[in-house]
């Protein structure tokens, strides 16, 4: 099966730096905020390096977990589990919490699959990291 060229320049812009992203460096960011309905998706993209730089050093982003269309919903990725904010490393109240699922494509073009990581952040910390 064919894989997309890592040098393929996508039309996606990085959430953190605002530059276009090559396929080999793309991370899909799915965000879930408190009170958000399951059908309301917030999706962004970023460079792997920008995502790693945005989070505190204790968040390695190894992308060891996997997701396919047969697995649990994204909203179930880390239900109930949340430590300190992955951006500022302070405690998060339920009202301030946003769950992020970061996915890297690992499958072929015809059979897509993703390696993923899930982190918790303050919604405002994530929004403030956006390029201007």
Task: Report pLDDT digits (tens) over 31-52.
Answer: 988 888 777 778 999 999 999 9
Average pLDDT, the chain: 84
Q: Does position 73 have pLDDT exceeding 60, yes or no?
A: no
Whether residue 4 lies inside any domain: the answer is no
The pLDDT confidence band at residue 66, using thresholds 50, 70 and 90, is: low
The pLDDT confidence band at residue 74, using thresholds 50, 70 and 90, is: very low
Whether residue 52 lies inside any domain: the answer is yes
Range scoring the smallest mean pLDDT among 23-37, 69-83, 87-101: 69-83
Residue 106, both tokens = 């690992």
Whether residue 129 contacts residue 15, with contact meaning beta carbons closer than 8 Å, is answered with: yes
pLDDT at 71: 43
- The DSSP letter of residue 57 is T
Whether residue 3 lies inside any domain: the answer is no
Count CA atoms closer than 13 A to 54's CA, side-chain side. 27
CA distance 20 to 80: 34
CA distances to 29, 58, 83, 95, 100 from 41, in Å: 10, 27, 23, 18, 11
Whether residue 39 lies inside any domain: the answer is yes
How many C-beta neighbours within 10 Å does residue 83 have? Answer: 12
Whether residue 30 lies inside any domain: the answer is yes
Whether residue 1 lies inside any domain: the answer is no
Whether residue 23 lies inside any domain: the answer is yes
Domain that holds residue 42: 9-128
Whether residue 132 contacts residue 106, with contact meaning beta carbons closer than 8 Å, is answered with: no
CA distance 96 to 16: 20
- How many domains in the chain? 1
Q: Does position 69 have pLDDT exceeding 60, yes or no?
A: no
Residue 29, both tokens = 């960011």
Q: Does position 83 have pLDDT exceeding 50, yes or no?
A: yes
Whether residue 2 lies inside any domain: the answer is no
């Amino acid at each position: 099966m064919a894989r997309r060229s890592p040098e393929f320049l996508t039309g996606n812009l990085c959430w953190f730096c605002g530059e276009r992203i090559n396929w080999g460096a793309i991370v899909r960011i799915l965000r879930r905020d408190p009170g958000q309905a399951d059908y309301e998706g917030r999706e962004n993209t970023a460079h792997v390096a920008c995502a790693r730089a945005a989070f505190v050093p204790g968040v390695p982003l190894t992308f060891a977990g996997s997701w396919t269309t047969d697995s649990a919903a994204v909203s179930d990725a880390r239900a109930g589990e949340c430590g300190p904010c992955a951006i500022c490393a302070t405690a998060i109240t339920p009202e301030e919490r946003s769950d992020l699922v970061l996915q890297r494509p690992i499958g072929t073009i015809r059979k897509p699959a993703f390696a993923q990581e899930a982190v918790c952040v303050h919604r405002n910390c994530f929004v403030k990291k956006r390029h201007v």
